[in-house]
């Protein structure tokens, strides 16, 4: 379960809509809501990141690929540690596609992080889902996403 305060949720959505028709992305930092439940996380901040993907060919451009540069991860990790928090997830948009993880998403995913995917159609966010990579790396399980306080 991932809980995102409404103001941060809105900040994330605005960033993803502004990036349309390219994929946009960012990092979620926060903490475990309940240390007894390792998958119950609360987001404390949303770090907006530029899509660093370099187009490989017309079929793999920023309209369907994203990349968060290692420098951005390191910066987010330091920022989180400074505040006694940790990186709890990553978010990105799927322009004109469903909010389900792609094969590329599966290959790039790290265990233990929440992957929030937002479907953005014609510039407007539609569905939002959060995913956790399975231990066998053979796919994702959806987790509950709570937009709250
Ligand atoms: Zn994706």
DSSP 62-78: TTT-----HHHHHHHHH
Residue 37 has pLDDT above 80, yes or no: no
Asked if 53 contacts 96 with a C-beta cutoff of 8 angstroms, the reply is no
What's the 68 CA to ligand 1 centre distance in angstroms?
Answer: 12
What's the 44 CA to ligand 1 centre distance in angstroms?
Answer: 23
Asked, for residue 43, whether it belongs to a domain, the answer is yes
Per-residue pLDDT at 38: 67
The CATH number of the domain holding residue 111 is 3.40.140.10
What's the 126 CA to ligand 1 centre distance in angstroms?
Answer: 15
Average pLDDT, the chain: 94
What's the 94 CA to ligand 1 centre distance in angstroms?
Answer: 6
What's the 65 CA to ligand 1 centre distance in angstroms?
Answer: 7
Say how many domains are in the chain. 1
The residue whose two tokens read 């053979």 is 138
Asked if 26 contacts 56 with a C-beta cutoff of 8 angstroms, the reply is no
Asked, for residue 149, whether it belongs to a domain, the answer is no
The residue whose two tokens read 């006694």 is 84
pLDDT tens, 76-126?
Answer: 999 999 999 999 999 999 999 999 999 999 999 999 899 999 999 999 999
Asked, for residue 67, whether it belongs to a domain, the answer is yes
63: containing domain = 2-140
Per-residue pLDDT at 32: 83
Asked, for residue 60, whether it belongs to a domain, the answer is yes
pTM of the model: 0.95
Computed on alpha carbons and rounded to an integer, the radius of gyration of the chain in Å comes to 14
Asked, for residue 146, whether it belongs to a domain, the answer is no
Alpha-helix residue ranges (DSSP H) falling in the chain? 6-19, 70-82, 103-108
């Amino acid at each position: 379960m991932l809980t995102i305060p409404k103001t941060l949720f809105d900040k994330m959505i605005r960033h993803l809509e502004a990036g349309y028709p390219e994929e946009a992305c960012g990092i979620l930092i926060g903490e475990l809501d309940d240390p007894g439940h390792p998958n119950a996380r609360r987001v404390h901040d949303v770090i907006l990141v530029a899509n660093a993907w370099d187009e490989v060919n017309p079929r793999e451009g920023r309209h369907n690929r994203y990349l968060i540069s290692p420098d951005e991860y390191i910066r987010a990790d330091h920022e989180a540690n400074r505040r006694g928090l940790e990186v709890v997830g990553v978010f990105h948009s799927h322009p004109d596609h469903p909010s389900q993880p792609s094969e590329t998403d599966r290959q790039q995913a790290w265990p233990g992080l929440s992957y929030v995917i937002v479907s953005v159609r014609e510039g407007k966010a539609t569905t939002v889902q959060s995913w956790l990579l399975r231990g066998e790396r053979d796919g994702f399980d959806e987790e509950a996403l709570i937009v709250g306080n």
